[in-house]
Structures are given as C-alpha cells and as structure tokens.
Amino acid sequence: MEHKRDNRPFVTPGDGIQDHFVTLSGKLSGIQLSAVYHCFLSYRDNYDYGHEWDFWPNGLSVHIFSLTLSMPVITPTQTPLI
C-alpha cells in the first residue's frame, strides 16, 4: 500500500489549542545553540495534545545540522486527532 501525503493545511482542533513553551539558549564550543520545549493542550478541558522538543544552532552562515524530535502523548481516555 502506497503512503499518501496529507497536504491539507493545519486545522485548529475544535477544543482550541494552547502552546506552553520554554526556550533555552547558550554557547557550546563557540556555537550559539537554542532549544524549545512545547506542551500542547486544548483550550477547553486541557486535553493533552502532545509535547515537542526543537533544537537548532543560531548565527551560522552554513547550515550544519538540524534536529527536531516530536512525541505525541495520548492518554487511554483520549483518541488521536487523526
């Protein structure tokens, strides 16, 4: 079975969405690095939509690396949005 890509635009869930996040940045071996942790919740009833970590270097003239980790967390009482 061939996987088909979903090209539909992002749609906000019916219960809304909140993005609580923390940003950290600093230098490591002379390279400015940044990291952001996101916690996504519904606006109504605080359903857990998942968590995400993003990491990237800042101020480099040449793109060296990029890493994004995503891990949705769904409790047994919830159903996935897709």
Residue 2 lies in a domain: no
By residue count, the chain amounts to: 82
Does 77 fall in a domain?
Answer: no
- The answer as to whether 60 is a domain residue is yes
Please give the tally of structural domains in the chain: 1
Residue 25 belongs to domain spanning:
18-71
- Rounded to whole angstroms, the Cα distance separating 70 from 20 reads 15
Look at residue 36 in the predicted model and tell me its pLDDT: 92
The pLDDT tens digits of the residues spanning 17-66 come to: 899 999 999 988 888 899 999 998 988 888 888 899 888 887 655 555 56
Residue 39 falls inside a structural domain = yes
Check pLDDT > 60 for residue 3: no
> In this structure, is residue 82 part of a structural domain?
no
